[in-house]
Amino acid sequence: MPVEQVDGRVYLNHPKGSCAELLLYGATVISWKSATRNSTQPVEHLFVSSKAALDGSKPVRGGIPVVFPCFGAPVHPEHSRLGQHGFARSEVWKFDSIVMDNDAGVSVRLTLEPTASIKAKYDKSFHLAFVVTLAEHQISTDLHVKNTSTSTVYPPDSLEFQTLFHNYIRAPASEVLVFPLQNVSYYDKTESTEEVRTTAKTETRAGVDVRRFTDSVYEDAPQKYEVNWPGGGVAIKATNLKDVVVWNPGKESGSKIADMEDGGWVCVEPGYVRGFT
């Protein structure tokens, strides 16, 4: 079966051997395997911490969590009652439909609308559709946001939000390099003062590494990235996601995160997080 649903999980299987697994909780992709140029057998491309909760008790530490409607701590007045990264990654989504099932690929659509728990902290009307498409050598994640307000007042009820795909890529953190971010403006969230954290820098490195604690938000980035390491690599292409975050807390900072393990991974996260759309 190309698509299976079992106990709150959705399994995608491509006829050429690639496969993916996602949770209805958070619409989080927790596995993507495909053959590579170095392996004819499917290889896992995503990192999920061995300490991650997969039972719906808290957002998953790893995979591809969906961030909406705010990135990080909320700063928009309409998001003041929300927690870190909003609510999309901590709500149970509905399985909507199989979008595609052929030799090219298999894809499914999950949806999320305001629930009682969401309405208690966020009073906007919306419809989210998350489409995951598995092909022989790639996976695509698409988030469609619709303002469903029926208000007749003028000006019309707006829906301002931030969004991001929090990709955890399985890679040797000490050897990985991310391209091409040279000459792109970024904000270094590891700096010790708010003044410096909110002052733009210009990336001078041809390849960005994560050998030490890294938490950088690149603004108006190229939307095509290469994550390379000796013997492997992943290409990331984004559309309508003008920013990208490169993150790895390293051993010292990572040890302060209860569900994190020290291991080989880097987060390269396309999103719209500088300003609101």
The DSSP line for 13-44 is E-TTS-EEEEESBTT-EEEEEEEETTEEEEEE
- 84 labeled part of a ligand binding site: yes
- 89 labeled part of a ligand binding site: yes
Residues 6+ positions from 184 with CB-CB distance below 8 Å = 202, 203, 218, 219, 220, 221, 222
- Residues with catalytic annotation? 166, 269
The annotation places the binding site at: 61, 84, 89
The annotation places the binding site for substrate at: 61, 84, 89
